[in-house]
Structure 1
Amino acid sequence: METLRIAFIYDVIYPWVKGGVEKRIHELAKRLAEKHEVHVYGYRLWGKETEIERGRIHYHGIVRIDPKALYAGSRRSILPPLLHSFGLIPALKGERFDVIDCQASPYLPALSLKVLDVKNVFITWHEFWGNYWLDYLGKVGLVGKTIESSLFAFERHLAVSQKTKMDLQNAGLRKPVHLVPNGVALREIRSVKPSPLESDFLFVGRIIPEKGVDFLLRSLALLKRRFPDFRAIIVGDGPERRKLERLARELGISDNITFTGFLKDYRDVIALMKASKVFAFPSRREGFGIVVLEAMASGLPIVTVNHPMNASMHLVENGKTGFVTSLSEKEFSSALLRAYEGWKKLGRTAEKKAENYDWDEIVKALLSVYRGG
């Protein structure tokens, strides 16, 4: 098979910023780089060099951004992706790639590829907002909705979940959409030993409103009446953290909760998963939910919520690998307790299901799509 020259385009880059999209690109890139030439174009989150190489992956820092500037309040700031998009035009001009895998959001970088009239572009959709833009921004959301749908002009599309694929088709995208899901690094997860810091319930994610950590805390407050000594760990950071720490005190559960903040080492997160019993994930907006797969691969049952924008609920077999509840704190609290009581059996089933999502197999499927198979 011929060697391909591949570019991934997204604004934030793993491991300097850790999230689901960043993790997908990292896991795919490091496997592809074993036999192919791989480049990643995003923010310069490291030192002075505009280009660095790590693990045979070539990283291009288009514009220097402080990670603290990524958010304006609880929402992602528009300025950094705008600067990134303008910077992509001179950075990519004259470059020749066999494949450019551009993440749909934040949309503007894809428009820069249109300006350059670049060929061989795949748009990877992690979620599709459509009318949700209006809920998110009101009338101003019409701008986001219009820009999002403008990406339908590209010829090649990838979706990371069946839900997103169906959302795209229902929104009028008539071009083929290839399903290439996210995955987990099974061998690495299995090599990690449990953390000495044990917990009954664990949350991992960005501390932003959509993740529903406030909902989780109120659910845990209800649970305390039946399980007064529970231990819960909240892993992650974000603009909501201080408010949530204050809410935990107001609810009388601060002694039960540990906020760890952001953990730099991925293995430390997995170690905490292996030292917990239930993964609590009440996210109302999730394009896939890699962290849910990682928890399943670590042997944890999942408790999540039924919401139209939460694709991670489709990873959970209700009653077999965890529970999917309504947006009711009482129902979520009861599901947490049921998952805790049956965590060993539910966790074994969840771990078995996660075996279908090994990154080594995902990258083979991706290469087949890249090559037109």
Structure 2
Amino acid sequence: MKIAFLYDAVYPYEKGGAQKRIWELARRLADDHDVHLYGMHYWDGPAVIEREGVTLHGVCEPRELYVDGRRSIPQAIAFALRVLPPLLREDFDVVDCQEFPYFPCFSGKLHELVRGSTLVITWYEVWDDYWYEYLGRKGLFGKAVERATLRLADTIVPISEYIAADLRELGRTAGLEVVENGVDFERLQEIPAADADWDVIYVGRLSEHKNVDLLLEAIATATTQLDRDLSCGIIGDGPEREQLEADAADLGVEDQVEFLGFVEADADVIGNIKATSVFVLPSIREGFPNTILEANACGVPSIVVDHAENGSTAVVEDGVTGFITEVSSEAIADRIVDCLTDDDLLADLSAGAKAFGRDHDWNVIVDELEEVYSSVVQRER
């Protein structure tokens, strides 16, 4: 098969769950298929290059993905327009568009109509009414675009059963083929732990919905309960960093919490995860977080919060690979204390987490996606 992935942000120049998923799948599919990736032109040299068997197409100069903490709409529209000419010059069996930021999916649909490809949309999150919280009255536009995108492709690949259930609530019941995220399990086993000794670690963007302020409050509460200082590493950057650093000072935990900022090398991120006892992701909005899968593969249990819009709850089995708590700093603190004071519990959670990570090795996941592609192409033919 000849396969094209469409996504503006390209790994490793931009690091996030979608970027990493695309790259890990693309380079494995390239062993047996002709795989192309259309994104912004991050690299030096010609616009079209080959890397690990994948043909990369840089369709435009990189533009900032986020403006004032929100995904840039002009950037997404510009990429959707710029990708059309080079995309339409090629024939593909499958064009796999990533659902967000929506507009490039319409470019993929045009390729299906003009060149006869099969459009597949990989779906990471359902926003629906959250658009009003995100944009106020302008959220009506975002919601309308999301609904329109949902109708573009005959086949949609939700990254978890949780996302599939959300899509069914919006009325999309046919053509859903769940293919979850994965990890390079064996490679992660080879990475040594960092020269650190964290009790707790967080990895992710420092945005409002991530609720890192709850983690800071939980560190302060757990410190009181344990009568000792906890060490917490926070990896990531974003619009909330300055406020969070101020929050840490106000809570009196600035000496216990280290803001490591954006960490360039994946091995360094994994090394720090391996150097901790517990991974905490207090976000209320997630799809199927790769960071939790990576923590699982490292044998590190995770604590996440129970929220209607939080797909993290599909990646953590409560009491087996970690804990799902209320959305409160007190509940998070209680679970942190449980993990840090019960060695047998921590060992059991660690074993459960590692088994979950092993079951989600990318080599397993890519076989599932390849089967989806083959079936939809055969059906179209």
TM range (shorter): over 0.9
Q: Is 1:367 equivalent to 2:370 in the alignment?
A: yes
Q: Pick the aligned partner of 2:348 from 345, 350, 353.
A: 345
Q: Deviations over 1:163-213 (max 9, x none)?
A: 111111121114310011111111111111111112010101111112111
User: Is contact 1:206-1:236 (8 Å) kept?
Assistant: yes
User: Is contact 2:206-2:240 (8 Å) kept?
Assistant: yes
Q: Is 1:75 equivalent to 2:70 in the alignment?
A: yes
User: Is contact 1:323-1:339 (8 Å) kept?
Assistant: no
Q: Is 1:95 equivalent to 2:98 in the alignment?
A: no
**Amino acid aligned to 1:27:** E
State the distance in 1 between where 2:354 and 2:66 align: 34
* Counterparts of residues 1-373 of structure 1 (less than 5 Å): 4-66=1-63, 69-116=64-111, 117-118=113-114, 119-151=117-149, 152-227=151-226, 228-341=228-341, 342-372=345-375
User: Is contact 1:65-1:80 (8 Å) kept?
Assistant: no
**Amino acid aligned to 1:181:** E
**Amino acid aligned to 2:92:** F
User: Is contact 1:303-1:339 (8 Å) kept?
Assistant: no
Moved more, 352-361 or 46-55: 46-55
**Amino acid aligned to 2:51:** R
State the distance in 2 between where 1:108 and 1:153 align: 11
How many angstroms does 1:45 deviate by?
2.1
How many angstroms does 1:331 deviate by?
1.0
In structure 1, the residue matched to 2:379 is: none
How many angstroms does 1:356 deviate by?
1.4
Q: Deviations over 1:104-152 (max 9, x none)?
A: 1110001123344253110110111122212222221111111111121
Q: Deviations over 1:239-297 (max 9, x none)?
A: 22122112111211111011111111111111111111000110111011111011011
How many angstroms does 1:153 deviate by?
3.1
User: Is contact 1:297-1:355 (8 Å) kept?
Assistant: yes
How many angstroms does 1:226 deviate by?
2.2
SS of residue matched to 2:60? strand
User: Is contact 1:322-1:339 (8 Å) kept?
Assistant: no
Unaligned runs of 5+ in 1: none
Moved more, 225-234 or 186-195: 225-234
**Amino acid aligned to 2:27:** K
User: Is contact 2:106-2:152 (8 Å) kept?
Assistant: no
User: Is contact 1:202-1:233 (8 Å) kept?
Assistant: yes
How many angstroms does 1:70 deviate by?
1.9
TM-score, normalised by the number of residues in structure 2:
0.93
Change (3 A) 1:115 1:349: closer
User: Is contact 2:214-2:329 (8 Å) kept?
Assistant: yes
State the distance in 1 between where 2:367 and 2:230 align: 42
Aligned residues: 368
User: Is contact 1:41-1:61 (8 Å) kept?
Assistant: yes
Unaligned runs of 5+ in 2: 377-381
**Amino acid aligned to 2:307:** H
State the distance in 2 between where 1:207 and 1:110 align: 27
State the distance in 2 between where 1:97 and 1:300 align: 41
User: Is contact 2:109-2:119 (8 Å) kept?
Assistant: no
Change (3 A) 1:6 1:140: same
User: Is contact 2:95-2:108 (8 Å) kept?
Assistant: no
Q: Which runs of 4+ in 1 moved over 6 A?
A: none
How many angstroms does 1:28 deviate by?
0.3
State the distance in 2 between where 1:367 and 1:200 align: 40
SS of residue matched to 1:177? coil
Q: Superposition RMSD on alpha carbons, in Å?
A: 1.4
User: Is contact 2:278-2:336 (8 Å) kept?
Assistant: yes
